[in-house]
Structure 1
Amino acid sequence: MTAFSLEPEQTAWCEELRTFAVRELRPLAEKGEPGRVNRPLLAALGELGLLGRMLGSGALDLCLLRESLARGCTEAETALALQGLGTTPVVQAGTPAQRERWLPEVRAGRAGAGRAVAAFALSEPGAGSDAAALSLAAEHTTDGWRLTGEKCWISNAPEADFAVVFARTTPGAGSRGITAFLVPSDRPGLTGSALDMLSPHPIGTLEFGGVPVTADDVLGEPDRGFRVAMNTLNLFRPSVGAFAVGMARAALDATLDHTAHRTAFGGPLSELQAVSHQVAEMATRTEAARLLVYAAAAAYDAGESGVPRRAAMAKLYATETAQYVVDAAVQLHGARALRRGHLLEHLYREVRAPRIYEGASEVQRTIIAKELYANAAQRPDASPVPPPSAP
């Protein structure tokens, strides 16, 4: 097992980042328009070096970034995470020319000329959780391919300056017939529209009307794009858990302050056993989720076996825990937490989406169970699986 614990310097840096997010990044976030890319906020993340740190970090450092930002400003966390999701395939599988063109701009968070807002275009109207079933067609031409179809629930769409697009280059080949393309937003035939979501994230659709791409746009190898997608998701799934932990910790912080000072029935709420036990449960689950996230991230960085299972466990438990903690915090705050603009009203809308994106909770359970049964079957003392009965 990988040993994992934070050094005092890491803990201090996380607290400093959370404080900075509250004081400096939250005002920028509040000036932005919900559901739209906040380019000034991205520029600030670039100036702070956080975008560059994200792209050059391992999984544990990415988790610390996302947890700390989420605890102080969820919009800043989301802006950073969506940039990472759309750019990591370029870091991991891009050609030298692709990296040289886009990565410096992403790291800088530039909001003007040369800007580079990224999108990760995997999901489709008929292929969400079952990503290998995607149908966006890449038809061969003399110069490369033409992309025809639609992507849906895409981060930063339609405002992104480039998108990593996963398309089917070999029909009927399942996950083995998918290619990843880096597609700039100014390609002819590429359009899109924004979606009005419960969470104030920039999410939209992309429409491909015969968009031309060439071999220079391929990320990795033709027909091997599904691996590019899964490598990206294996890195980001624990960090989705870190985002959830950050929201849970923010809700817990608010609850501790509220219940310590709000009086009812002759004393502070914290003196009521029902309240104090609820807070203890919230804190225990949050800490368990936090440690599970760190363990998965440390295993990824160490190259240990079972990373998909550990990443799925971290994402599953942390996002489900955050939903519980935020809901409990709203209950303990009462009606004030439902008022538009309250921190918990904001978190209540934010916390629901992570249980779905980058693989819904049900998908994570499927991944976990599949690996568990596969590992059990390989044990020396495992019982042989009986053949199916004759009809």
Structure 2
Amino acid sequence: MTAFSLNPEQSAWCAELRTLADERLRPLAEKGEPGRVNRPLVEALGQLGLLDRLFAGEGQGEPGKLSASHAPHASHAPRGTSGALGLCLLRESLAYACTEAETALALQGLGAHPVAAYGSVRQREQWLAPARAGNAVAAFALSEPGAGSDAAALALSAAPDGPSSWRLTGEKCWISNAPEADFYTVFARTTPGAGARGVTAFLVPADRAGLTGTPLDMLSPHPIGALAFDGVTVTGDDVLGEPDRGFRVAMTTLNRFRPSVGAFAVGMAGAALDATLAHTAQRDAFGGKLKDLQAVAHQVAEMATRTEAARLMVHAAAAAYDRGEPDIAQRAAMAKLLATETAQYVVDAAVQLHGARALQRGHLLEHLYREVRAPRIYEGASEVQRTIIAKELYAARSAAPDTREPREEPSV
């Protein structure tokens, strides 16, 4: 298997996931309330073994399979579906059939991955196990009112309060699953003036004294809120990783999930494309079918080409992550950038080709149109991804020896 093709077993697994999402998860999603955590949906993701796949090789449990006792359509996942590539296939498949299920899964992974990767045995036993089971909702609390994509500019203060204790004071904003999560991975400044080197990651239970939250009314239907820290006490037992090394925790988590944000986008683009193929093939227009108009056919061809290009780049970035290649930051940024921008284009084009019906509340494309906008901003906006890509390109150029032969200057 290469990064550019899936074997029949993997393709069958993706189809199985789409069926599972459509038959088992979508009904739960439809019963949920926009802007609120859908706990029955999260619990179903845990019961079906899908949350386990977020932490394959980390923490406890048996990753790599769906729970056959709860999922009649599920079976053992094929080889090559673990790690970052497996996460991408999982997110793309769920997004195609049920964006709410995909988002619930991704947010659980984003919030709990630092615990799986950097947590102590006690932290993993207390919080990772219920998170994997879908019984505890996790959240990743990085963004602030004045520090969104610039994670090194975090202002949430962690003031020393003893030899191994701090008090958190400040705000977090645009935090998915807030304020309803059961625990938060919180990034706070323990060393003022140290930039990225003075940030520490903490595991903060939602019931910790001094922590409050409010929901935000956002375009995206999943829950997003703000958090206020009024002298919240944290100790060395709450640290994830090491003090002043929290920026590494944040970037490791984001680098793992950024390619799969692209997979989420590709899944939405694929759903919009298939809906457009079905609509244009049956819609009567100007004495024929809509697909017979060259302008329409060429638009659909462009949508399909861009979607496939984004899918290939996402798979390549994920495979590079799994191989441990050194340029994952650049690859992940490229994958997220291309996939999210592509999905925006494809969904918008699909709405245009469907006409007014796509603007009706409850239509698939009306739903996707609201869902597709946010991924171009969260986990690093498109402009931030371009900055990362350019920085990595110039760094690689500076590090590489110049082996070019000197050119002979033209005579005058």
TM interval, shorter chain, is over 0.9
Q: Which amino acid in 2 is paired with 1:361? A: S
The answer for the alignment partner of 1:123 in structure 2 is 143
Q: Does 1:75 align with 2:100?
A: yes
Please tell me whether the aligned partners of residues 3 and 312 of structure 2 are also in contact (alpha carbons under 8 angstroms): no
Following superposition, the deviation at residue 288 of structure 1 comes to: 0.3
The answer for the alignment partner of 2:286 in structure 1 is 265
Following superposition, the deviation at residue 7 of structure 1 comes to: 1.8
Please tell me whether the aligned partners of residues 174 and 224 of structure 2 are also in contact (alpha carbons under 8 angstroms): yes
The answer for the alignment partner of 2:271 in structure 1 is 250
The whole-number CA distance in structure 2 between the counterparts of 1:339 and 1:3 is: 38
The answer for the alignment partner of 1:64 in structure 2 is 89
Of residues 373-382 and 217-226 in structure 1, the stretch that sits farther from structure 2 once superposed is 373-382
Unpaired runs of 5+ residues, structure 2, are 57-81, 405-412
The answer for the alignment partner of 1:387 in structure 2 is none
Q: How does 1:256-295 map to 2 (within 5 A)?
A: 256-295=277-316
Q: Which amino acid in 2 is paired with 1:285? A: R
Provide the secondary structure at the position in 2 that maps to 1:318: helix
* Correspondence for 2:177 among 144, 149, 156: 156
Following superposition, the deviation at residue 305 of structure 1 comes to: 1.6
Following superposition, the deviation at residue 3 of structure 1 comes to: 4.9
Q: How does 1:76-95 map to 2 (within 5 A)?
A: 76-95=101-120
Provide the secondary structure at the position in 2 that maps to 1:179: strand
Q: Which amino acid in 1 is paired with 2:210? A: G
Partner deviation per Cα, 1:157-216 (whole Å, 9 max, x = no partner) = 000000000000000000000000000011000000000110101100010000000000
Following superposition, the deviation at residue 377 of structure 1 comes to: 1.6
Q: Does 1:139 align with 2:159?
A: yes
Following superposition, the deviation at residue 137 of structure 1 comes to: 0.2
Provide the secondary structure at the position in 2 that maps to 1:149: strand
Tell me: CA distance 1:139–1:345, structure 2 relative to 1, closer, same or farther (3 Å).
same
Partner deviation per Cα, 1:253-280 (whole Å, 9 max, x = no partner) = 1000000000100111111111111000
Following superposition, the deviation at residue 4 of structure 1 comes to: 4.6
Tell me: CA distance 1:33–1:3, structure 2 relative to 1, closer, same or farther (3 Å).
closer
Q: How does 1:1-391 map to 2 (within 5 A)?
A: 3-56=3-56, 57-110=82-135, 116-142=136-162, 144-381=165-402
The answer for the alignment partner of 2:76 in structure 1 is none
The whole-number CA distance in structure 1 between the counterparts of 2:183 and 2:394 is: 40
The whole-number CA distance in structure 2 between the counterparts of 1:97 and 1:379 is: 44
The whole-number CA distance in structure 1 between the counterparts of 2:203 and 2:173 is: 17
Please tell me whether the aligned partners of residues 54 and 65 of structure 1 are also in contact (alpha carbons under 8 angstroms): no
Provide the secondary structure at the position in 1 that maps to 2:365: helix
Tell me: CA distance 1:3–1:39, structure 2 relative to 1, closer, same or farther (3 Å).
closer
The whole-number CA distance in structure 2 between the counterparts of 1:3 and 1:264 is: 40
Partner deviation per Cα, 1:308-355 (whole Å, 9 max, x = no partner) = 000000000000000000000000000000000000000000000000
The whole-number CA distance in structure 1 between the counterparts of 2:152 and 2:310 is: 29
Please tell me whether the aligned partners of residues 376 and 382 of structure 1 are also in contact (alpha carbons under 8 angstroms): no
The answer for the alignment partner of 2:62 in structure 1 is none
The whole-number CA distance in structure 2 between the counterparts of 1:199 and 1:343 is: 14
Q: Which amino acid in 1 is paired with 2:96? A: R
Partner deviation per Cα, 1:284-317 (whole Å, 9 max, x = no partner) = 0000000000000000000012000000000000
Provide the secondary structure at the position in 1 that maps to 2:362: coil
Following superposition, the deviation at residue 379 of structure 1 comes to: 2.5
The whole-number CA distance in structure 2 between the counterparts of 1:108 and 1:188 is: 26
Regions of 4+ moved over 6 Å: none
Provide the secondary structure at the position in 2 that maps to 1:139: strand
Please tell me whether the aligned partners of residues 85 and 232 of structure 1 are also in contact (alpha carbons under 8 angstroms): yes
Please tell me whether the aligned partners of residues 4 and 298 of structure 1 are also in contact (alpha carbons under 8 angstroms): no
Q: Which amino acid in 2 is paired with 1:80? A: L
Provide the secondary structure at the position in 1 that maps to 2:96: helix
Q: RMSD of the alignment, in Å?
A: 1.0
The answer for the alignment partner of 1:113 in structure 2 is none
